[in-house]
Amino acid sequence: MQSSSRLQRLTSAPAFKRFVAAPEFGPLVLLLVEIIVFSFLTSRRASVDPFFSIFPSFLSSTNITNLMTFIPELGMIALGMTMLMTAGEFDLSVGSTFGLSAIIMWTFYNAGLTSLEVGFLVAMLISIAIGFVNGWFVTRLRIPSFLVTLGMLLIARGAALYITDGFPQRTWSAESPLVDVLVGEFRVGDLRIFTSLLWFILFVVVLHYVLVHSKAGNWILASGGNPMAAIARGVKVGRTKVWLFILSAVMSAYAGITSSIRVSAANPNSGDGYELEVIAMVVIGGTALTGGRGSILGTVLGVLILRVMRNGIVMVGVPGLAYKIFIGAIILGMMALHSTLERRTGNGR
Amino acid sequence: MANDLVRMEHINKNFGSVQALDDVTFTVGRQEIVGLVGDNGAGKSTLIKILSGAHPASSGQIYFDDKPVEIKNTWDAIQLGIETIYQDSALVPQLSITRNLFLGREPLTGPRYLQRMDKRFMDEQTRKLLGELGITKAINPDTPITSLSGGERQSISIARAMFFESRLIVLDEPTNNLGVEETHRVLKFIQSARDKGLSCIFITHNIYHVFQVVDRIVVLRRGKKVCEANPKQTNIDDIEKVITGIHDTLPEHRAG
Ligand SMILES: Nc1ncnc2c1ncn2[C@@H]1O[C@H](COP(=O)(O)OP(=O)(O)OP(=O)(O)O)[C@@H](O)[C@H]1O
Ligand SMILES: [Mg+2]
């Protein structure tokens, strides 16, 4: 009796209500459910079937290390995409930029043209150019971002294939402080952690701040919500969007380079199809495809949800090929949830 | 007149082969409410869009404070103190009242490089403004625009223009889709803006609204300015006849 009234008091507190009404609440619940279900299924499987007890369980440090290694790579792209989508545009060329940037850096380095650091800078400059061209076509020529970035997807992928003749680039001969800065390893207890995770966390904090607390964030939200009204108020919508296209390309390039160092391979085809997975992560987190609403924290949850799903279903023994069925189902389920919530509360910040 | 706030002289505007404005000269005095009327497609919106920098004139000259100015984009217009509230929506529906009020002019706090919005100040001002608006029900500054009525939205757009001490407020059909009560509130708002020293251009199809608040009426027809009148010296019938083209000028002009 007493405990139920305490529960009532808790659930009627304004802070609790706000927490539940937040667009990030749905994804958070889904993530927790996933973790609980997978932990339960993997531990049961290990106890029933002695063969599986040699595999790490879902919550083992090996598996958590594994999860945290992958998260920053797609996660970085998803952060850039979140900002861009909040402003009402999206970028299909992220996967190609991911592949091309690593190819450029390693090609320059392997050919002995530049040091690795300069190769890195060249790759970053090219990604800035990619983002600028995307933004320029979208804002100046008023071509939908779907078409512009589809064109760029093909150009960047084609460039990566052409430069390499389709062959992977050598990556193992590199000795450079850059490698340690981007994906250095260190241990925290049983966990092996890459510096890329720290970079990811830093970007989460910075971009969350920008979107929610800064003047730029207000401009980004307004550019996606009602560009005409924003322009009438003197908001430089075109310039804002160009910067976000550049951000998206730079984040993709950064992720591509990080990934190539970590797996010691720069394959001209890597990043293929990432654009759709990233957009899925972003929308699952509650950012609107049509702009005007966006959440960096939601995106972090979206990234975790899909990563945990990919990792978990393999561990419980569902064939990995079925992964796409689950992503599809999650997208549809989350979209239904977000649209219901929005209709009920008229969501805004 | 030398003492006008805005003078648009010999404005022409072509959209391809369509001549939307034909040698229009249009002025707004200081602390004056000018009603701009005319049938659909007369060129009213086009004229004020040139003034607010939404698109350039094909030819003509604009003077603001008796100085020739070039208004190339909305930013130029805002710098001059011209605030436009468009026919459709001037607000971002997903954003809160506070965020809309300060959009484009966000006050900052803390070190400049952080570009942090001063949310506390913004919320305070919004609460104050909402009180002045006479919206009786308590509205939270965090409320998104989507959950406000049309009249509340218009009031907020107008209040925003007043808050930032613009010199000229341009309203393109602000009373469209509004109920009786809300229309009344918007009209009162326009008058109180004038009393605080602002000038106003008020576009509407509702002649009765025009007669209630404006100091001068300007009629456009097919891109041409056909007449100007003082509402105290003319009547609704005559103006309507000029708008629709039954008459070319007002009675006394015809006589004289
Ligand atoms: N962007 C444009 N491109 C081509 N023609 C245009 C454009 N904007 C306006 N026009 C044309 O210019 C003329 C004047 O239009 P405008 O919008 O100024 O009329 P209005 O007086 O505001 O009418 P309403 O009362 O219906 O709002 C119309 O014939 C219209 O078709
Ligand atoms: Mg109009």
Among A6-15, A203-212, B160-169, the range scoring the smallest mean pLDDT is: A6-15
Mean pLDDT to the nearest integer, B189-208: 87
Q: Is A232 on the interface with B (CB under 8 A)?
A: yes
CB contact under 8 A, B115 and A215: yes
Query: Does residue A143 lie within any of the structural domains?
Result: yes
Query: Does residue A86 lie within any of the structural domains?
Result: yes
Strands (DSSP E) found in A122-263: 185-188, 191-194
Question: Tokens 């229009």 appear where?
Answer: B24
For residue range A20-43, list pLDDT tens digits in order: 777 788 899 999 998 898 888 877
Rounded distance between C-alpha atoms, residue A153 and residue B223, angstroms: 47
Task: Please enumerate residues of B whose Cβ is less than 8 A from a Cβ of A.
Answer: 52, 54, 74-75, 78, 84, 86, 88-96, 99, 102-106, 108, 114-117, 119, 142-147
Highest mean pLDDT among A48-52, A116-120, B248-252: A116-120
Average pLDDT, chain B: 86
For residue range A94-147, list pLDDT tens digits in order: 999 999 999 999 999 988 888 889 999 999 999 999 999 999 999 999 999 999
Going by pLDDT thresholds of 50, 70 and 90, the confidence category of residue B134 is low
Query: Does residue A63 lie within any of the structural domains?
Result: yes
Q: Which domain CATH number covers A230?
A: 1.10.3470
Would you state the pLDDT for residue B192? 84
Provide the number of structural domains found in chain A: 1
Question: Do the beta carbons of residue B96 and residue B143 sit within 8 Å?
Answer: yes
Share of chain B above pLDDT 90, in %: 40
Which residues lie closer than 8 Å to B48 by C-beta, 6 or more apart?
A: B36, B84, B170, B172, B201, B203
CB contact under 8 A, A230 and B103: yes
Provide the sign of the torsion angle of the four alpha carbons A88, A94, A96, A97, taken in this order: positive
For residue range B28-72, list pLDDT tens digits in order: 999 999 999 999 989 999 999 999 998 899 999 999 999 999 999
Q: Domain range spanning residue A273?
A: 56-344
Q: Which carries the bigger pLDDT value, residue A22 or residue B115?
A: B115
Would you state the pLDDT for residue A1? 46
Q: Domains for chain B: give ranges and CATH numbers.
A: 4-92+149-244 (3.40.50.300)
Would you state the pLDDT for residue B135? 65
Query: Does residue A49 lie within any of the structural domains?
Result: no
Query: Does residue A4 lie within any of the structural domains?
Result: no
Q: Is A228 on the interface with B (CB under 8 A)?
A: yes
Helix (H, G, I), strand (E, B) or coil at B206: coil
Query: Does residue A44 lie within any of the structural domains?
Result: no
Rounded distance between C-alpha atoms, residue B78 and residue A320, angstroms: 57
pTM of the model: 0.84
